Amino acid sequence: MNEEKIESGAGIFFKKLKKNKGALVGAGILLFFIITSALAPVISPYPVNEMNFEDSLMGPSAAHWLGTDEFGRDIMTRMLHGGRVSLLMGLFAVSISGTVGVFLGVIAGYYRRLDIYIMQVMDILMSFPSLLMAIAIVAILGVGLTNAMIAVAIAVIPSFVRVVRGSVLSIRETEFVEASKALGVKDWKIIVKHILPNVTSPIIILATLEFGSTILAAAALSFLGLGAQPPNPEWGALVFVGKSFLSQAWWMTLFPGLAIMLVVLGFNLLGDGLRDALDPRSN
């Protein structure tokens, strides 16, 4: 009986998702970049850091589909490998911020006596623009790829805390939670069995949307020279290098910039589709 209900619920979810053309487009974009990035070592036409000064600043051609940079390195190869770095940065940042944010959000929403202290800290963090705060954190921790990921993760934590807290506040007042408390069920069991399953949907939606935001923020840090350092082929770093040759080698900036834009767009479209599909009130 339970399996049938689960299958029915999953069937309704996928049916709604398939009706949303934007979500399908977003999923297709993301699938393309995930597959090409994962297979980068296999499908890359050249070694990622191979220099050939005879081909420097060569425009898109049959030999180099997306052109070359100032050292004659193939842009397509570096973008494929750069996708691995950018996507992993986003995954790391969302995983850390999501884990910490969900934990703090549940604590703040369930234990009212701790709510004011946690939310005051979150309000302070949210008073700073996320990119500015990430820059400040990198300035403290030091320049580098790992520190940039940590900085972006910290900047996103307040978003998870606020969303999860709001969901927990409404769920903790429901009859099944009150009944569990009356029966003497321990708080951690109530949180695991009743609270967390009911806040899964908003967490999934927010994580999908924040994935694109974290990739954009990480790219911005790399563009400012605070994230990935040469010769790491991260997309933001590629745009940073390309801006110095914008008048003579526009492809160095255009293609990495397009990759960032498309990935962020893909996550936003998919996030909107998931929000509609997971909403029980939508048709």
Q: Kindly report the backbone phi and psi dihedral angles of residue 65, in degrees, each rounded to the nearest multiple of 5, phi listed first.
A: -60, -35
For 53-89, write each residue's pLDDT tens digit. 998 999 999 999 999 999 999 999 999 999 999 999 9
Is there a domain that residue 61 lies in? no
Highest mean pLDDT among 12-16, 18-22, 78-82, 277-281: 78-82
Mean predicted confidence (pLDDT) in 38-58: 91
Task: In whole angstroms, give the CA distance from residue 76 to residue 67.
Answer: 7
Is there a domain that residue 182 lies in? yes
Is there a domain that residue 50 lies in? no
Q: CATH no. for residue 159? A: 1.10.3720.10
Global pTM? 0.88
For 124-170, write each residue's pLDDT tens digit. 988 888 888 999 999 899 988 889 999 999 999 999 999 999 999 98
**Helical spans, DSSP H, in the chain:** 2-19, 21-38, 40-43, 75-110, 112-126, 130-141, 145-171, 175-182, 187-190, 196-198, 200-223, 235-242, 251-278
Q: Give the residue, 236 or 14, on which the prediction is more confident.
A: 236
For 173-201, write each residue's pLDDT tens digit. 888 888 988 888 898 999 998 899 889 98
Is there a domain that residue 52 lies in? no
Residues in the chain: 283
- Predicted local confidence at residue 2, as pLDDT: 46
Is there a domain that residue 46 lies in? no
Q: How many domains does the chain have?
A: 1
List the domain range (segments joined by +) for residue 236. Answer: 24-37+74-278
Is there a domain that residue 7 lies in? no
Is there a domain that residue 117 lies in? yes
